[in-house]
Structure 1
Amino acid sequence: MEHLPIKLNDLPDEIIVFILRKLYNVDVLYSLVGVNKRFSAIAHDSIFTSRLTLTYFSNDFTYPLPDPMLDRFCSKILHEIHHKIKRLHLEPTSMQRILLATNYPNLCELGLYSIDVEEAVSLFIDDTTFTGVDKSQISSLIIDMNRNKKKISTTDINKIIFTRIFTMFTNLQYLTFGPSSNWDQRFSFDTPFPNIISLNLLELHICVTYFSDLLYLLDGRFNQLHTLHVNIFRIKCNPSTIDSGEKLPNLKSFSLYSDLRTHVYDELIVPFLHRMLNLEKLDLHLMVDRHKGFINGNDFKKNIINYMPQLNKFTFNIRLFNHISNKFNLPSNEDIQYTFKDLKDNQVISCVDLFQEEKHRYCHIYSYPYRMKYYDHISNNFPGGLFKYVHKVSLYDEYPFEHDFFLRIEKSFPFMKELTIFNVKPQKNKLNRKSKNGNQELSIVKYPHLIRLDLFQAHDDYIEQFLVDTEICLPNHVHLSVNYEAMKRVTENFTRNTTRINCTKLRSLCLAGANGITKHVKDYFPHTKVF
């Protein structure tokens, strides 16, 4: 390659731009600005300057630019391209410095990531950080609260931040307000609700605590809203759940997510959906505890679809639990699938289970392809498929998981990072390292992207399967959580050689119930943080 006569500078601009578009804009600008007149002109093109992300994202975390890169941007590059920047995305440690480095006359979108509560309050109360920004020109705002820092402690702080956003950015049309993680930082407005009105807001993405917070957002104060994505911590009836029942004719797209069981699907959620006369897109992700049978295609048609004549896209992920009595009827997967025959634009997957020890029936229905990052409650009845977006998986059954089942999980979740197993039943077909014919080696299960493994509530057989390297090949840097006594049994008091290879790959090990970590244990995990 070094003897080829063609160099980068010999390529036409179109080819160079095509190559550079494979890189981050921040890296293109840092590498090419000032190299020569031609490359600087290419780097100044709107392709690389109109949208600028001055932070790095990795595994749902944000990281600041290295100091030399940040220094050069603030002292030189931003001054040259500031009038071309339309979209700017920042993280908190460098945010103030970047925003004050120059003015941004054409900025219309601002993204602020991993901000904690104190930073958010300071930012929106004292708005001197935005002196270089025409706030009336900002039409799109992303506020991503940091899940690892302080949580909001009072609803007053919620109201302050939310109110100030609309006071400062008077022409806001798009707002994402909340955490990148759905589990931690949420907002609750509570009564008396802040007196905010916006005739400009068209799209809102937000994580709230209660259903009453959703009703507040749709009480008419944002009457031009056409798209709403909301994640609710808890959906239940309470004294503040007061709904006027007024129709929502402007709402075209609605997404509702909640990962805690709700008992009021029929009483609260379905009547609420009836208000959306002109809805075109609906996305429901819910856990439902229901006493009147499973939710299926007939139920959707009768209670939802018939009320939405404009609906053209309906996606869902419903996990439903029925408590069983002495008499129960468990419909088959075929019965459930048949009820979706009229949803011709959707491929629907169903999985039905009966858990007699827990005394409940379980039905999981979802539209495929599956877009969520997690897939919970997988049993032996798992129908399979390819789930390339899923990073977090949990397995649960009252029947044992055998080796072939873990191979199915490998094929279905190629990018799985976190795995939790809830199963206390011993395996019936314990491996003898050979297949039935005694000659061919059994396939080794491989989870190449796994970083977290939770076996707290797993039988010893599954702990053994994951630690014996001839059964499962663990990648390096796995965080394992397991019961101390179970680990002691499986590793034969931390002396067993067949589990030693996978144990050396552990980055950290949480031994629940351990009464101190002895040197004997530490020696078995020479490269592992044990606690």
Structure 2
Amino acid sequence: MNTSPNKDINIFDLPNEILVIIFNKLNMIDALYSLVDVNERFNRLVFDRLYIHNLDLTVKSSSNYISSINNQMLDEVCEKILPRIYHQVNKLTVEPHSIERLLFTTGYPQLDSLSFINFQKETFHQYLTGNTILRFLLMDQIKHLVVEIKNETTAATELSYKNTLNILSLILFSSKRLTHLIFSEWSSEEPLAISIFNHPTASCVSSTVTQLE
């Protein structure tokens, strides 16, 4: 019988391949906040283009529930990390609490894919109509767009349906380079199926759009 004491495993002794697997299991906001500037080796792994090109700073639980980013963590990422990686970001995912800091205060010259998660319909409509930075991105850069609208209720009303179609119309008319659009509405009770193909909005789809869900 082997009675020798077990050695404690030190994370610094793990090979890069194992560390990358561990990093990918973490929420990205946790990885950036906790691991950047620990040492040069961790920086090389965390700032690897294959890792940070898809910047998803949403906070997901084990059940895929998305919550808002802690303000202290958001401050750290925006002030100390984004200036070091913004030029390598191709994909960006934002939620209502982080959009102002992540999307509207930093330019992303390589950004062509944008995801909006957990937005109220009225809030997202306000951004589409009132924010020049978002309109510029949709017009000049974004090819892939994901919009997930969170509703407080599953009750479908004529006004709610019209608001949805207004949002879709704004997206389709504003987006000059868009090729893929995924739009969904959901509530805590059940997903809401929204079809735009039986509405005149569908005929306004830009000739650049090749996938619409």
Give the TM-score band, short-chain normalised: 0.7 to 0.9
Quick check: 1:21 aligned with 2:24?
yes
Q: 1:88 to 1:22 in 2, by over 3 A?
A: same
SS at match of 2:116: strand
SS at match of 2:115: strand
SS at match of 1:201: coil
Q: 1:60 to 1:146 in 2, by over 3 A?
A: farther
SS at match of 1:93: coil
SS at match of 1:111: strand
Quick check: 1:100 aligned with 2:104?
yes
Instruction: Give aligned pairs, total.
Output: 203
Q: Identify the structure with bigger relative contact order (alpha carbons < 8 Å, sequence gap 6+).
A: 2
1:72 positional shift: 0.8
Q: 1:189 to 1:123 in 2, by over 3 A?
A: farther
Higher Cα radius of gyration: 1
Quick check: 1:177 aligned with 2:183?
yes
Higher helix share goes to which structure?
A: 2
Quick check: 1:127 aligned with 2:134?
no
1:41 is aligned with what amino acid? R
Which residue does the alignment assign to 1:158?
Answer: 164
Q: 1:133 to 1:37 in 2, by over 3 A?
A: farther
Q: TM-score, normalised by structure 1?
A: 0.35
- From 108, 115, 118, the equivalent of 1:111 is 115
Which residue does the alignment assign to 2:210?
Answer: 202
Q: 1:157 to 1:187 in 2, by over 3 A?
A: farther
Structure 2, unaligned runs of 5 or more: none
SS at match of 1:107: coil
Query: 2:53–2:88: 8 Å Cα contact kept in structure 1?
Result: yes
1:101 positional shift: 3.0
RMSD of the TM alignment (CA)? 3.0
Query: 1:110–1:140: 8 Å Cα contact kept in structure 2?
Result: yes
Kindly report which structure 2 residues correspond to 1:446-525, keeping only aligned pairs within 5 A, or say none: none
Structure 1 residues 85-139: Cα deviation after superposition (integer angstroms, max 9, x where no partner): 1111111122122112311111121111111121121011123342784742211
Which residue does the alignment assign to 1:81?
Answer: 85
Which residue does the alignment assign to 1:242?
Answer: none
Quick check: 1:49 aligned with 2:52?
yes
SS at match of 1:34: coil
Higher strand share goes to which structure?
A: 1
Q: TM-score, normalised by structure 2?
A: 0.79
1:115 is aligned with what amino acid? F
Query: 2:59–2:69: 8 Å Cα contact kept in structure 1?
Result: yes
- From 121, 125, 136, the equivalent of 2:140 is 136
Which residue does the alignment assign to 1:446?
Answer: none
Query: 1:33–1:39: 8 Å Cα contact kept in structure 2?
Result: yes
Query: 1:55–1:65: 8 Å Cα contact kept in structure 2?
Result: yes
1:69 positional shift: 0.9
1:64 positional shift: 0.8
Structure 1, unaligned runs of 5 or more: 206-531
1:144 positional shift: 0.5
